[in-house]
Copies of this chain bind each other. A is one copy, B any other.
Amino acid sequence: MSWLTATYLIDARPDEIEARAQTLALEQSVECPLEAIGDRRVLDEIVARVDAITPVAENRYRVDVKIAVETIGGEPAQFMNMIFGNCSLWEYVRLVDVALPQGLSSRFPGPNHGIAGIRTLLGAGERALTSTALKPQGVPVAELARLCTVFARGGVDIIKDDHGIADQVYSPFAERVAACQRAVHEVTERTGRPIFYAPNLSGTPRRLRRRAEIARSAGVRVVLVAPMLVGIPAFVELVEEFPEFVYLAHPAGAGGRIDPVLMFGKLFRLFGADAVIFTNYGGRFAYPPEACAALASAARRPWELVRPALPVPAGGMLLERIDELLDFYGKDTMLLIGGNLLVARDALLERTREYVAKVTHYGSAGIGVHA
């Protein structure tokens, strides 16, 4: 028998935490009163068990629950169901960690490329990496392609669709991918510097697959996917069917009661994200710096055969903060700065070059506030 440990934060009074923890363990396994179970094996091997209850604040507890691996098989939908299915419905419960027994991680794809693979693709050595976003949705394909040309001339490593750009009439997927890929390709042909356009893959599973095929045919090597919008099982299937893509995972739709450190740093990585975009501290989102550091660390740390994933802080980031951010995150990081480039309007190329120069030369003598 093999068990994984799911860890929850549960709000409860001291006199009710034991009952809440036990109820959660039943709910996340057999979903019925113990007295309804006549099968000894089910009681011994299937019923989840409260392993530890630790107070962490007033009326808040950290609760470790052991869940039988046998209940999961190797499927992501059922894995999510067993760790956060019905108990997601309780307002007072948050899922904060999952520890897998040895070998279980191999049932999920993990990153096919990881940090090392991305560096190889980009020919980037040990420096920090840059990315930006094509914005805003609503502009025609020609404008998105023009932005691609400017960003590519500016030297940004990865130019991704904004995650709101799907397959709308104003920038249909096939036409957009062809035009943006061509625009970037033309620049890289001239400069010799590897730069990649990453289209946003969205849609129902069949459409997702068709779009992935279109992208592959166009020569795309990096794609953007929001796992919680397309659905984790569809994301996993995509990673398995199109292992040649580098996957940037977008956090849209992932808010709720799963801790972001676990969701982006660990689960998205396990499900195949080569790079995980998350909302940086101090931007227009509100994660504290400690959570951002823990997330980046979770994405990178050694974990059986699961390749490290690249942390990509994003969300209202400013060029002025680059040194601070790289001091904080280190070089195994890709920054994602979009809007703060686009506000330059006619000076977009210059501002893009400034962005790339700041990141590329970070830590070199004479450049950056910490030199």
Contact = CB atoms under 8 A, between A and B. Distances in A.
Contacts of A167: 73, 75, 78
Nearest to A85: B252
Interface stretch (A26-34, A98-106, A121-129): A26-34
A230 B137 CA distance: 28
A354 interface: no
Contacts of A70: 138, 168-170
A46 B166 CA distance: 14
B231 A85 contact: no
Contact of A234 (B82, B138, B234, B342): B234
A39 B139 contact: yes
A357 interface: no
A24 to B, nearest CB: 10
Interface on chain A toward B: helix, strand, loop, or mixed SS?
A: loop
Interface residues of A, number: 85
24 contacts: A29-B164, A36-B342, A38-B345, A39-B136, A45-B138, A46-B136, A70-B138, A70-B169, A77-B231, A78-B203, A80-B229, A81-B164, A84-B253, A85-B252, A86-B163, A86-B252, A88-B252, A88-B254, A89-B254, A203-B233, A204-B236, A205-B205, A229-B233, A255-B257
Interface of A: 23, 27, 29-33, 35-39, 41-42, 45-47, 70-73, 75-78, 80-82, 84-91, 93, 133, 135-139, 143, 162-164, 166-170, 202-208, 226, 229-234, 236-237, 251-257, 260, 279, 284-286, 338-339, 342-343, 345
